[in-house]
Amino acid sequence: MPYSSVLNHVLHASRYALVFSIFFILLPRIFFRSHSDSLLEGFFRNYIKSVFFFIILGYSLVLLKLYELLTVVAILIYLLLYLYRKKHSISSWEELVHIQMVWVYDIADGLIRPGQIIKDWLLKKKTEFKLSALKYFGSWSAMGYRVLFLSVFVYTAYLRFYDALKHAAPAMSDSYVVIAWIKYIDRKMLFRDGIYPQGFHTYLDFLHKFSDLDPLYIVNYSGPLHGVLITLSLYFVVTRWTGQRVPGVLVALIYGLLGSYLPLGWMRQAATNSQEFAFIFIMPALYFFSKYIEKGRRDDLITASAALFLIGLVHSLAFACVGLGMSLLLLLSLLIGWRDNLYKALRISLVGICGVVVAIIPVGIGLLMGKEFYGASAEFLLSQTLLPIAPELGIIDFLAGFAFVILLLFLLIKRKQSKELFAVGYTILFGMATFCLYYYGGVVTKNIVISSRSGELWGLIVPVVLGMGWYAISQLLGPLRNKVVQFVLGFCLICYIFFSIRPQPIIPYKMEYESGVEQYLHISTMLRPTEWMIVSQEEGYSLVYGKGYHLMLENFLELYNPYVKELKGCPVDIFIYHEKKVFWPDLDSSIMDYSIYENREIQNQKIKEWLDIYEKNHDNLNTFYEDDNLKIVRIHQAPSLEEKNQTIWGIK
């Protein structure tokens, strides 16, 4: 079945969606019962808590070498029973077992009919859905706003999922590292390549373990989904801060559709990286901290704390960003009312200290295990640039500057009238701090991380600044307060972007031919894991690991003589990838290592000669797949009697 076929994605995406829904939507509603002011707020509360819970659970079980599907299921069942016992005030586990046994006997006797219970539950949910639909679409204005919202988010999803649904090859080089680390976590190996936050990979492995999908599909689907969730998080925060939908739709439109105009890595929105995953939680974390300052609810502090902790376990740069946001939030809260907010500020400060400790704990564990820091990240973190250059400002940056002016005017004019003043003031503080980091950070520090990644942070915050700026304009100009006027302007803006700018799907760079990845999927489903091996370049290692065997092309040429038929140490079927035209990724010359691909040119010429000699001398080679760029040769080795006995009887 072709990777890009509709049926293939229906089969695989439905399993992904089912597991995601169970673990991050359904179970959290049972485990974390909390008050939410809206459906979207409830989703983010539960998503934050459940992600943090499963990351901690995964880390713990991997360290204890107990990370198995049955272990996780047993823990979840225990928690469900514990919550059931607590809810119904059952005094002991024996009483709980007795109640459950009575329930089983009642079913057997026909006193309880599970089918009728399910039918009644479905009817109840149907009624609730109708009521929700009437609430959300019951008026023309509500329907209009929902249409704007859905239009933006459907287009946002289209831009990000297009490549994942069309092309099997993972997006960007980072995806291969993610695939390998998912498999290491699944095999209970922590920090296999060095110390690096593993929370993201633990989260992805839960999806892999329970969906039983190839990690390639997990990675291909997750990156675009995270891009959509970042957009949704920005929409959520701005609509909650302003109490209006149009500013939120504007924020989603800028980040979701006009990302190519923002100073961020646009193609990263369709790739799977821990940074983008952590970005989902930055603004919700700051929102729940601000809500705690405003209302003092314990659950807001718990939710914000969980978001902070999980960011620390996922990505260091995002953790630093949310730390900056928290510092400015505390400063502003003390400036506007230090007597009322001092105790809350102290509690948030304590949470921040705990967040640092939580983020450092995995590092300490890694050092105790004798591991070193992941080489690529450590080198990148400490790299310096000799000639730092301030980034060139674009139209979005100038619009943000105009928005800052409008927000300042709003503060001066409405300083005693608007309940949204705190959010407006915080947007100015956090936005300007992020912009200064973006524009001056690299020049002052000469650090490559700050120089190259501060744009990602500014790209995340600038849509919020523009959305809040629109809100300020609508409040200052009387006619713009009218919902019909706001809807018409929003509709016109969306139409202009859809039909004039027409954002195109994101197509990240690839590291290998599409056909090579498709054939890997075909081979892995066609043969048993222990019976095949792929000989290819290093990209193949991540894909094949845990499924079959993999050998680097260079090593194969060193180990095996084409004049000898038997390839000792190899499984029954060997698939050799010969690139007739070596794949060169579309990378910037500043980061492209040309020597690697020049060496691959030599290796592929040698493997061609090796295959020609082998084919002339032996009869067990045939062409498995061939196109204009890639030829895959299959060498079939009949197992010896000794190997057959080993397979059947387990003896030599």
pLDDT at residue 414 greater than cutoff 80 = no
Instruction: Name residues whose C-beta falls within 8 Å of residue 78's C-beta, 6 or more positions apart in sequence.
Output: none
Render pLDDT for 474-508 as a digit per residue (tens, 0 to 9).
Answer: 888 877 677 777 778 888 888 888 888 889 999 99
Tokens 């070498």 label which residue? Answer: 65
- Supply 257's token pair: 């559709």
pLDDT at residue number 217: 96
Tokens 């100015």 label which residue? Answer: 428
pTM: 0.91
Instruction: Give the pLDDT band (50/70/90) at residue 133.
Output: low
- Supply 130's token pair: 């109708």
Domain check: are 425 and 340 in the same one?
A: yes
Domain check: are 497 and 523 in the same one?
A: no
Domain check: are 242 and 302 in the same one?
A: yes
Could you give phi then psi for residue 622, rounded to 5 degrees?
-145, 160
Domain check: are 553 and 628 in the same one?
A: yes
Which domain-ending residue is among 477, 501, 525? 501
The count of domains in the chain is 2
Instruction: Name residues whose C-beta falls within 8 Å of residue 427's C-beta, 6 or more positions apart in sequence.
Output: 241, 407, 464, 465, 468
Distance CA(494)–CA(564), nearest Å, equals 66
The 3-state secondary structure of 241-287 reads HHCCHHHHHHHHHHHHHCHHHCCCCHHHHHCCCHHHHHHHHHHHHHH
Least confident of 66-80, 96-110, 363-377, 452-466: 96-110
Instruction: Give the pLDDT band (50/70/90) at residue 428.
Output: very high
Domain check: are 390 and 343 in the same one?
A: yes
pLDDT at residue 138 greater than cutoff 60 = no
Domain check: are 283 and 360 in the same one?
A: yes
pLDDT at residue 141 greater than cutoff 90 = no
Is residue 346 a part of any domain in this protein?
yes
Which domain-ending residue is among 433, 466, 501? 501
pLDDT at residue number 345: 92
Distance CA(440)–CA(447), nearest Å, equals 11
Is residue 269 a part of any domain in this protein?
yes
Domain check: are 394 and 481 in the same one?
A: yes
Instruction: Give the pLDDT band (50/70/90) at residue 649.
Output: low
* Amino acid (one-letter) located at 232: L
Domain check: are 492 and 534 in the same one?
A: no
Domain check: are 471 and 560 in the same one?
A: no
Could you give phi then psi for residue 632, rounded to 5 degrees?
-115, 120
Render pLDDT for 10-36 as a digit per residue (tens, 0 to 9).
Answer: 999 999 999 999 999 999 988 887 777
pLDDT at residue number 650: 61
Higher model confidence: residue 166 or residue 383? Answer: 166
* Amino acid (one-letter) located at 155: Y
Domain check: are 446 and 567 in the same one?
A: no
Integer-rounded Cα Rg, in Å, for the chain is: 28
Is residue 104 a part of any domain in this protein?
no
Domain check: are 533 and 420 in the same one?
A: no
DSSP state of 563: T
For the chain, how are helix, strand and coil distributed in percent, rounded to 5? 70, 5, 25
Is residue 100 a part of any domain in this protein?
no
Q: For residues 464 and 431, is the Cβ–Cβ distance under 8 A? A: yes
Maximum average pLDDT range among 95-104, 332-341, 379-388: 332-341
Render pLDDT for 206-220 as a digit per residue (tens, 0 to 9).
Answer: 999 999 999 999 999
Render pLDDT for 186-198 as a digit per residue (tens, 0 to 9).
Answer: 999 999 888 899 9
pLDDT at residue number 482: 73
Instruction: Name residues whose C-beta falls within 8 Å of residue 351's C-beta, 6 or more positions apart in sequence.
Output: 301, 304, 305, 308
pLDDT at residue number 382: 62
Is residue 80 a part of any domain in this protein?
no
Domain check: are 484 and 344 in the same one?
A: yes
Which domain-ending residue is among 474, 501, 528? 501
pLDDT at residue number 449: 75
Instruction: Give the pLDDT band (50/70/90) at residue 419.
Output: low
Tokens 């490559």 label which residue? Answer: 448
Task: Tell me the residue range of the domain where 599 lies.
Answer: 514-649
Is residue 86 a part of any domain in this protein?
no
Is residue 361 a part of any domain in this protein?
yes
Helix (H, G, I), strand (E, B) or coil at 504: coil
244: nearest Cα among 555, 487, 507, 505: 487
Render pLDDT for 218-251 as a digit per residue (tens, 0 to 9).
Answer: 999 999 999 999 999 999 999 999 988 889 999 9
Segment 591-619 mean pLDDT:
90
pLDDT at residue 448 greater than cutoff 60 = yes
Burial 558-584 (b: 16+ CB within 10 A, else e): eebebeeeebeebbbbbbbbbbeebbe
Is residue 113 a part of any domain in this protein?
no
Distance CA(61)–CA(48), nearest Å, equals 20
- How remote is the C-alpha of 296 from its chain's centroid? 31
Higher model confidence: residue 315 or residue 374? Answer: 315
Across the chain, mean pLDDT equals: 88
Instruction: Give the pLDDT band (50/70/90) at residue 120.
Output: confident
Percent of the chain residues past pLDDT 70, beyond the cut: 91
